[in-house]
Structure 1
Amino acid sequence: MSLEIERKFLLSAFEPPPTAVRQHIEQGYIAIKDDGTEVRLRRIGEGRVLGVKRRASPPAGPAARIEVERALEEREFTDLWPATEGARVIKDRYTFEASGAIVQVDVYQGGLAGLRTVEVEFATEAEAEAFAAPDWFGAEVTGVKAYGNQTLATAGLPES
């Protein structure tokens, strides 16, 4: 179990730097609760993962969530994947260092094509609060339900 502390922003444009590491991600949701708890499957390259996320209890801030992940065998993943029908996202993730932080840019595909987001993870809430987003980041959408992957997977692109 780990505590995930991250902030998320929109991007209007993105050109991967030469140092970026690209991963193709297929992500599907088995369960999504109204309180933000989710059970998801992920195929990242050759890896397959079952993950559970939920909001951290106070005093943790809005950017903090509890995350548990377990590796799956190919057969387990294949058996569970049909349960995610209608709740999936496909994206390419680019990971690199920028502005003194490790950033992850997600470039969505399929029905979410055109959407690009960037996330920055932090070791502490204080680091997250102190982070000054660089000029190339767009609007912050940390905690905005419409831009959560589980909502994107089930409802598609937000109206605005």
Structure 2
Amino acid sequence: MGIEIERRFLVANEDWKDQVIRSESVSQAYLNSSVDEWATRVRIIDNNKGYITLKSSLNGLANYEFEYSIPRKDAIELIQLSKYKITKIRYQLKINKKNWVVDVFEESNSYLKIAEIELNSESEEIQVPSWCGKEITGIKSLSNASLAKAPISELSVKDRIKIKSL
């Protein structure tokens, strides 16, 4: 069984940039619209590799996650058929011997930057970098699936300010 345990944070400043070891462009789409059920995600990395992922929340910190390679042309077609899409640049970082990612969202989620770290257990302790802001682990409205369905640009000014102040 695939279980992903991760913590997520809003990015507070640009100090993470000097720790980047690699980046990749990500286009992804969701084939269903309920964030309270299983999400079916299609993803293309660097316009090269296609994946389909089945994901469901186990609790606020852990998710069931099953990911499979699929032909690039199938991934392109599925993304084109979906109404719920996001694009982002994913930056890989190595901090205190841990793998972090910073997702810099584009298009309708363009000012949003989210840092993530995958853990080996729910009780694993980490050192949170100073450039991380508010922890958003478990906040469904800021999940990729929710952002694909209700992008930041479609929120009211009041709700955008609320997210920025988290």
TM-score bracket, normalised by the shorter chain, equals 0.7 to 0.9
Instruction: Tell me, yes or no, if the aligned pair for 1:32 and 1:39 is still in contact at 8 Å.
Output: no
How far apart in 1 are the matches of 2:89 and 2:76? 21
- How many residue pairs get matched? 153
- The partner residue of 1:55 within 45, 54, 57 is 57
| Local SS of the residue matching 2:136 | coil
Structure 1 position 138 matched with structure 2 position 142: no
Q: CA RMSD in A?
A: 1.7
Aligned residues with identical type, % of pairs: 26
Q: Structure 1 residues 8, 95: CA separation in 2 closer, same or farther (over 3 Å shift)?
A: same
Q: Residues 107, 74 of structure 1: CA spacing in aligned structure 2 closer, same or farther, 3 A cutoff?
A: same
Distance 1:117 1:38 in 2: 19
**Residue 78 of structure 1, CA deviation:** 2.9
Once residues 12 and 116 of structure 2 are traced to their aligned partners in structure 1, the CA distance between those partners, rounded to angstroms, is 14
Would the alpha carbon gap of residues 99 and 137 (structure 1) be closer, same or farther in structure 2, given more than 3 Å must change?
farther
Unaligned runs of 5+ in 2: none
Q: 1:57-96: CA deviations, max 9, x gaps?
A: xxxx5210110111111232233222312x1110000011
**2:89 is aligned with 1:92:** yes
Q: Does 1:13 align with 2:10?
A: no
Residue identity matched to 1:66: Y
Report the AA paired with residue 73 of structure 2. Answer: R
1:99–1:134 Cα contact (<8 Å) kept:
no
| Between structures 1 and 2, the one with greater helix share | 2
For residue 78 of structure 1, what is the aligned residue in structure 2? 76
- Structure 1 range deviating more: 12-21 or 30-39: 12-21
Q: Which runs of 5+ in 1 are unaligned?
A: none
Which residue matches 2:3?
3
Question: Which string of whole-angstrom CA distances, capped at 9 and with x for unpartnered residues, describes residues 111-135 of structure 1?
Answer: 11111010010011111xx224222
* Aligned ranges 1:110-125 → 2 under 5 Å: 110-125=107-122
1:149 aligns with 2:147: no
TM-score (norm 1): 0.87
Question: What TM-score comes out, normalization by structure 2 length?
Answer: 0.84
Q: Within 5 A, what are the aligned runs for 1:98-113?
A: 98-113=95-110
Distance 1:20 1:114 in 2: 22
Write the letter of the residue equivalent to 1:101: K
SS of 2:123's equivalent in the other structure is helix
Per-residue deviation at 1:33?
A: 2.6
